[in-house]
Amino acid sequence: MRGDANRPRRRSDKRAPAGTKTRATGPFGAKGSIPAPVDESDLSDDDPLHGGPADIHEDIGMPPATLGSNTVVPPLKRPEFRKLLAISITVALGFGMVIPVLPLYAESFGVGLADIGFIQLVFGLTRFSFGLVGGLVVDRYGDRVCTMAGLLIVSVSSYGAGLAASFPQLVVARGVGGMGSALFISGLMNRILRIIEPSAMGSATGAFRASFLVGASAGPLVGGIVAARFGLGAPFIFYATGLLVATAITWYVMKGGILVDDGAKRSPLEALRAARPLLGDRRYIIALLATLVSWWTVAGPAQTVGPVFARAVLRLSSSQIGLAITMLSVGEVLILFVAGRASDRYGRRVVLAPSLAVAAAATAAIGLIDAGSAWAYYPLMMAVGMGIAAVGAASGGLLADAIPRGGSGAAVGVNQMAGDLGYLTSPLTVGTLAERSGFGAAYMAGALPAALVFLASLKLPRRRSG
């Protein structure tokens, strides 16, 4: 064993004495300190924080969750992650049941289109307002409690919506549901960040998003059958009951399987102070911007202006417009798993930058086609779907790279708020431009955020594994 004394020492050789507890510093540095600025041009490929393949578990005194020296266990091979997908699919199925029925249900109270849109606005504003609150609840009470509380609140609000006797009651019920949605998303995403290594987070994000798409895609069919048989309020009752099932699943599957202890619970002020250094981390800021771009592109150009443009300019029928919207989801499904694995293996920038470019170019191009080239609408919508899905997978990886392994509910909550901000502001902004300046200008504005974040993503540090 004496020969070992002559070999070069690695960081993984620096072990604490027996009985000494070690803790991860992450991007916050040692307890009570803020790390000095790092020159990204000097970063090596073996830097675990800024992008190298070195096993961060070794440096923080944790056993590496790997199959080999550099092989991280794929998320789908982890029982604790697969169990979380069951929660996602259950919630998404119910969500898909009520969304297509909601306008018709609201209309049954004798209100107009503007009032129907007001319901969605209230839901979105409430969820945006409680995004940070949900994160602080995670930091104070844990992700399991936060996730279960969110599911129960949405369940109660859905029972209230299904049993509403007036339109104002429906609005209030949906608004309360937005609050619960914020808590649920913050809790579940923080748990995923805690059980999946940053080097596998791109794949995990892709799988999680795909599971939600599966549930949401099946939901409208089920919701339509339930509404036809039992009435327009029935899908909300079914959804609420399904959420109670999801709460029971959450109580069971989130009891264990934690790779990283979340440490002492923090007060809101302590949680905000702990997350503050992330505002100086380029990876975190670009992750926020990429999340905003994803929801901006979907909500405004694709889902709000798109159907109107397709009917008025491209002269497409309702079924053809429905097919084009479906192509958006098809593009997402086709690329999610590939983009997630690629961002883990080759780096976030390698996936994020081209994806943003594709999303920007395809969105802008839609505004240039006319009835004579209406066929191009379908592949362009698929390209938009592929672009935003890949952006989501890569931004999920960036989020994991920046946030400490113990998680940060506040940081996750702010990321959720970024997405909600894009979802709320895009329809109004792009829709107003379409009315006043034409569809060409509207689609150019819809593409602008993706183009700007593309330029910012080029400054990300290089990262590759293997």
Q: Tokens standing for 274?
A: 């702990």
Residue with the two structure tokens 């409680």: 130
Structural domain total, the chain: 2
- Domain interval for residue 384: 270-460
pLDDT of 463 reads 58
Domain finish residue from 197, 228, 253 = 253
* Cα–Cα distance measured from residue 256 to residue 88, given in angstroms and rounded to the nearest whole number: 18
pLDDT of 387 reads 95
Residue 264 pLDDT grade (very low, low, confident, very high; cuts 50, 70, 90): low
In this structure, the answer to whether residues 235 and 344 fall within a common structural domain is no
Handedness of CA 81, 99, 172, 117 (dihedral sign): positive
Query: Across 194-208, 376-390, 413-427, which has the greatest mean pLDDT?
Result: 376-390
Q: Is residue 264 part of a domain?
A: no
Q: Tokens standing for 397?
A: 């990886």
Q: What are 200-226's pLDDT values in tens digits?
A: 888 888 888 888 888 877 888 888 889
pTM, full prediction: 0.73
Which 3 state secondary structure label does DSSP give 72? Answer: strand
Q: Is residue 29 part of a domain?
A: no
In this structure, the answer to whether residues 356 and 433 fall within a common structural domain is yes
In this structure, the answer to whether residues 225 and 299 fall within a common structural domain is no
* Cα–Cα distance measured from residue 280 to residue 283, given in angstroms and rounded to the nearest whole number: 9
Please tell me the least confidently modeled range out of 13-27, 253-267, 323-337, 346-360: 13-27
Q: Is residue 260 part of a domain?
A: no
* Cα–Cα distance measured from residue 110 to residue 104, given in angstroms and rounded to the nearest whole number: 10
Average pLDDT, the chain: 80
Task: Compute CA distances 197 → 396, 398, 405, 431, whole Å.
Answer: 12, 12, 8, 40
Domain finish residue from 253, 288, 321 = 253
Phi/psi zone of residue 29: left (φ > 0), alpha (ψ -120 to 50 degrees), beta? left
**Does the pLDDT of residue 115 top 50, yes or no?**
yes
In this structure, the answer to whether residues 340 and 379 fall within a common structural domain is yes
pLDDT of 150 reads 94
Q: Is residue 8 part of a domain?
A: no
In terms of Cα–Cα distance, which of 408, 375, 166 is closest to 266?
Answer: 408
In terms of Cα–Cα distance, which of 194, 162, 223 is closest to 80?
Answer: 194
In this structure, the answer to whether residues 219 and 327 fall within a common structural domain is no
In this structure, the answer to whether residues 231 and 86 fall within a common structural domain is yes
The radius of gyration of the chain from alpha carbons, rounded to an integer in Å, stands at 23
pLDDT of 52 reads 40
When pLDDT is averaged across residues 130-138 and rounded to a whole number, the result is 87
In this structure, the answer to whether residues 215 and 286 fall within a common structural domain is no
Would you tell me how many other CB atoms lie within 10 Å of the CB of residue 78? 18
Q: Is residue 291 part of a domain?
A: yes
**Does the pLDDT of residue 429 top 80, yes or no?**
yes
**Does the pLDDT of residue 380 top 90, yes or no?**
yes
**Does the pLDDT of residue 465 top 70, yes or no?**
no
pLDDT of 214 reads 81
Domain finish residue from 207, 226, 253 = 253
Q: Is the CB of residue 117 less than 8 Å from the CB of residue 409?
A: no
**Does the pLDDT of residue 142 top 80, yes or no?**
yes
In this structure, the answer to whether residues 305 and 207 fall within a common structural domain is no
pLDDT of 263 reads 52
In this structure, the answer to whether residues 391 and 439 fall within a common structural domain is yes
pLDDT of 406 reads 67
Which 3 state secondary structure label does DSSP give 66? Answer: strand
In this structure, the answer to whether residues 454 and 347 fall within a common structural domain is yes
When pLDDT is averaged across residues 335-359 and rounded to a whole number, the result is 92
When pLDDT is averaged across residues 406-426 and rounded to a whole number, the result is 85
Tell me the CATH number at 203: 1.20.1250.20
Q: Is residue 45 part of a domain?
A: no
In terms of Cα–Cα distance, which of 389, 284, 400, 282 is closest to 340?
Answer: 389
Please tell me the least confidently modeled range out of 156-170, 207-221, 293-307, 345-359: 207-221
Q: What are 47-88's pLDDT values in tens digits?
A: 433 444 333 333 332 333 333 445 677 888 888 888 888 888
Q: What are the beta bridge partners of residue 66?
A: 72
pLDDT of 83 reads 86
Q: Is residue 374 part of a domain?
A: yes
Q: Is residue 203 part of a domain?
A: yes
- In 202-221, which positions are buried (b, 16+ CB within 10 angstroms) versus exposed (e)? bbbbbbbbbbbbbbbeebbe
In this structure, the answer to whether residues 350 and 249 fall within a common structural domain is no
In this structure, the answer to whether residues 360 and 284 fall within a common structural domain is yes
